[in-house]
Structure 1
Amino acid sequence: MTGMMRIDDRKGNSMIFIGITGGVGAGKSAVLSYLRELDGVRVMLSDEIAHELMEPGSDCYNRLKELFAEEPIWLEDGHFDRPALAGVIFSNDKKRELLNEVVHPAVKEYVLNAVKEAKKEGLFMLVLEAALLIEEGYGEICDELWYIYASEEVRRKRLKSSRGYSDEKIDSIFASQLKEAEYRRHCKEVIDNDGDIENTIASINKALSKYKE
């Protein structure tokens, strides 16, 4: 990407742990792609961590196997049928809470261990993206939170174009997520991703600049 920021020095020797969040369609992936290209930066996705922790043989998997043994969400090889699992948990609040009570603490424990390892390695920055970053209390773990902003109009266009979502589905998702004011209240930095990628990169570089000597 053009406009790539060079990170040669940083203030102090402590690793920076950044949490990234924002509404669906805000374009978090574009921000993460840019950050991945920077030297000394590692990006983690909470969804990928959760998927790893839910693989057969893990403690997390074994607990879910007991809780959801009677649900039609299992493939022949023992793995979760993820579309079927999504259908179950998003149609039943109690079952979604059961899943979250198992998976979310396991993800947080994984993240805390990853932070310790990253500090030992001397990384400049560790980045975590999570849809429920604020709700799950990651503000207490991260050095700061970043809110990836895009207007509802832009987000709606993106979701229709990239995922083929209907207005009804988009309205339902928007209603289930935090409002913009709540994101801004919890997040120290706002990355403007409402326009073209160059403006987004400029917004990221501005947020990073305070860590430069």
Structure 2
Amino acid sequence: MIIGLTGGIASGKSFISDALHQYGFPVIDADQTAREVVEPGERAYEQILEQFGIDILEVDGTLNRKKLADRIFADENQRRMLNQIMHPAIRQRILQNKAELQKKGHEVIVLDLPLLIENNLQFMVDKVMLVYVDEKQQKERLMERDQAGEEDAKRRMASQLSMSDKRTYADVVIDNNDTQEDSLAQLEHILKKWNIHPSSS
């Protein structure tokens, strides 16, 4: 089974991802994959340089992520161009990693995909697991975690599909409004319901 793990910003998805990893399931992290595909020598790295120029590089030749982020934040066309480079490269690498894990005999694999629903990646997974918090809690956690102002937090939340909308796409929901212990109990209940045990990975 391929589990697609998703959530909203500051929803606590990383906590559940770490728990699944500790249970023995291999986790393919889309954020980590996004960093890997833009390392020097990668095709996406070359395409980004062709599109955005060498002034977005650090002195060691790696991408200056802040410069690139500032560039695309101000220009919708450039953001679209970057996504057209990044998204196929990330998808291809995730599918490669998944195939390698399956070849090694792993029956249960977790794909940690923050934008699984926004990018219509449900075709890559068998089940969608959503880590949910209500929007008031989400805003408060985001402001505390990133020392963000209220307006900045609202803007960042608005850049993703709302948590209530995401719920409609999920096969299962972990309500992370309460304690971590409560969230772990929900996770264990879901795995039991799916007849999944760490030994089956």
Asked if these proteins are the same fold (TM beyond 0.5), I'd say yes
Report the Cα distance in structure 1 between the residues aligned to 2:71 and 2:29, rounded to whole angstroms.
23
Alignment: residue pair count: 196
Matches for 1:72-111 after TM superposition, within 5 Å: 72-111=55-94
Report the Cα distance in structure 2 between the residues aligned to 1:18 and 1:138, rounded to whole angstroms.
12
Report the Cα distance in structure 2 between the residues aligned to 1:210 and 1:149, rounded to whole angstroms.
19
The RMSD of aligned alpha carbons is: 1.4
TM-score normalised by structure 1 residue count: 0.87
Which of 22, 27, 32 aligns to 1:43? It is 27
Q: Name the counterpart of 2:12.
A: 27
Matched position secondary structure for 1:178: coil
Report the Cα distance in structure 2 between the residues aligned to 1:152 and 1:179, rounded to whole angstroms.
8
The one-letter code matched in structure 1 to 2:49 is K
The one-letter code matched in structure 2 to 1:79 is T
The 10-residue stretch of structure 1 (142-151 or 120-129) with the greater mean CA deviation from structure 2? 120-129
Moved beyond 4 Å, runs of 4+:
none
Matches for 1:98-137 after TM superposition, within 5 Å: 98-137=81-120
Report the Cα distance in structure 2 between the residues aligned to 1:197 and 1:118, rounded to whole angstroms.
29
Which of 161, 170, 180 aligns to 1:187? It is 170
Give the drift of 1:196.
Answer: 0.3
Report the Cα distance in structure 1 between the residues aligned to 2:62 and 2:168, rounded to whole angstroms.
39
Report the Cα distance in structure 2 between the residues aligned to 1:20 and 1:198, rounded to whole angstroms.
18
Which of 22, 36, 50 aligns to 1:66? It is 50
Q: Name the counterpart of 2:38.
A: 54
Gaps of 5+ in 2: 197-201
Matched position secondary structure for 1:186: coil
Report the Cα distance in structure 2 between the residues aligned to 1:66 and 1:95, rounded to whole angstroms.
13
Provide the identity percentage.
32
Report the Cα distance in structure 1 between the residues aligned to 2:59 and 2:120, rounded to whole angstroms.
36
